[in-house]
Amino acid sequence: MQKPIYLDNNATTKLDPRVFEKMRPYFEEEFGNPASQSHCYGWEAELAVKKSRQEVAKLLNANPKHIFWTSGATESNNIAILGLIKQLVYSKKMKPHIITSAIEHKAVLDVVKYCENLGAEVSVAPVNEYGQVEISTLNKLKKENTAFVSIMAANNEIGTCNNIMAIGNWCQVNSIIFHTDAAQATGKIRLNVETMNIDLLSLSGHKMYGPKGVGALFVNLENPNVKLSPLMFGGGQEGGLRPGTLNVPGIVGLGEASRIALLHFDEENEKNCTLRDHLIKEVLDNIPQAKLNGHPTERLSNNANFSFKDLSADLFALGLNGLAVSSGSACSSNSASASYVLKAIGVDDCLAKSSIRIGLGRFTKKEDIDFCCSKIKGLFKS
């Protein structure tokens, strides 16, 4: 059976063949444990991990010593948020105030909610009609005990990008620790942890043509206020912050994916922007019932999210046969309720349930987009 055209790259990306080839030796002959320091197998593994740490650091303009390996952005978010709040509550005996946004991934919202059990105070910032957090909103929510802000770099459903530079500057001026979930943004927008004043940043390999099950957390160790309590114990790996035997093949894959993303950053984003804009124009010009969700220009190069008036979800399944697209976040696509992200930007329940997310990628071709456009147009033919 022929598989549908894959246009769900915000959920996960295909492993780049170059990444797979880079990983292959570390499944076979270079299988050592980097913690084994008495023989060449361990030395080779340790060297590979070091090189990969450097590649991820280059992509973020970070110090390699500030990159910590995890299993993905969800774990990175947990370590960053819970680790910091535990440190503030237990060590400094304070009630820290956290600000996050209404359209964060559940890997942030659920963690922040749990922090209330640890004694933290939480404010959830509303977003504007495009899904962006405005500085004026942060100013209204700020309190004397505001210690931590977690705002995503780009939204996984509607593709809107936040002004991370402005938010980072605001946090620095107010002596607030700033974390960003950059799982969707890494490799698609320029991230510079130094100029953007980012203290903590989470990313995942499988969102950028790397393997699943590996990610990284950037920790600004130069900020004396950024101290994280580990969530797990039982080893000294990653400075004791994330114990456990390192996933060397996965780490090598993430390093290579980072190298490729930086090497081809401009050309890949230009290609995706061209295809994305063609898709958006075709849909909006030909379908009066269509509405683009998210910011019209300040959005990921590979994302388009549409709502369609007077179109049932059942018709989607029939009419979009041959396309692998998403009705929302991959982590909540099995939910029957309307997307909380779309509701947060003012889309009503009925319209939110007739929405699709189209995620372009490195391997998407123009004919794929043309086929997608024809399928969507076909839904509205009388």
Domain extent listing, the chain: 5-14+265-378, 18-263
Q: Which of 40, 115, 273, 331 is catalytic?
A: 331
pLDDT at 382: 52
- Cα–Cα distance between 293 and 158 in angstroms, integer? 6
pLDDT tens per residue across span 339-381: 999 999 999 988 888 899 999 999 999 999 999 999 999 888 7
| Annotation marks residue 161 as catalytic | no
Q: What angle do CA 45, 50, 52 make, to 5 degrees?
A: 95
- Cα–Cα distance between 228 and 210 in angstroms, integer? 27
Here the tokens at position 139 are: 């100013």
CATH number of this structure's domain 5-14+265-378: 3.90.1150.10
Q: State the chain's maximal CA–CA distance in angstroms.
A: 73
pLDDT at 330: 45
Q: Is 22 exposed, middle or buried (0-12, 13-18, 19+ CB in 10 A)?
A: buried
Strands (E), the chain: 5-6, 67-70, 97-101, 121-125, 146-150, 177-181, 200-204, 215-219, 290-293, 303-308, 323-324, 355-359
Count of CB atoms situated within 10 Å of the CB of 378:
11
Here the tokens at position 296 are: 């019209």
Burial letters for 44-59: b for 16+ Cβ neighbours within 10 Å, e otherwise? bbbebbeebbebbbeb
Report the Cα–Cα distance between both ends of the chain, in Å, rounded. Answer: 30
- Cα–Cα distance between 382 and 371 in angstroms, integer? 19
* Residue 336: pLDDT band with limits 50, 70, 90: low
pLDDT at 48: 97
The amino acid present at 335, given as its one-letter code, is S
What percent of the chain clears pLDDT 90, i.e. is strictly above it?
87
Residue with tokens 């100029």: 195
pLDDT at 313: 61
Task: Determine the number of helices (DSSP H) and then strands (DSSP E) in the chain.
Answer: 12, 12
CATH number of this structure's domain 18-263: 3.40.640.10
- Cα–Cα distance between 146 and 143 in angstroms, integer? 5
Q: Evaluate if residue 126 carries a pLDDT over 70.
A: yes
* Residue 32: pLDDT band with limits 50, 70, 90: very high
Q: Evaluate if residue 127 carries a pLDDT over 70.
A: yes
pLDDT tens per residue across span 129-174: 999 999 999 999 999 999 999 999 999 999 999 999 999 999 999 9
Here the tokens at position 82 are: 């819970």
Window from 128-132, 261-265, 308-312 with minimum mean pLDDT = 308-312
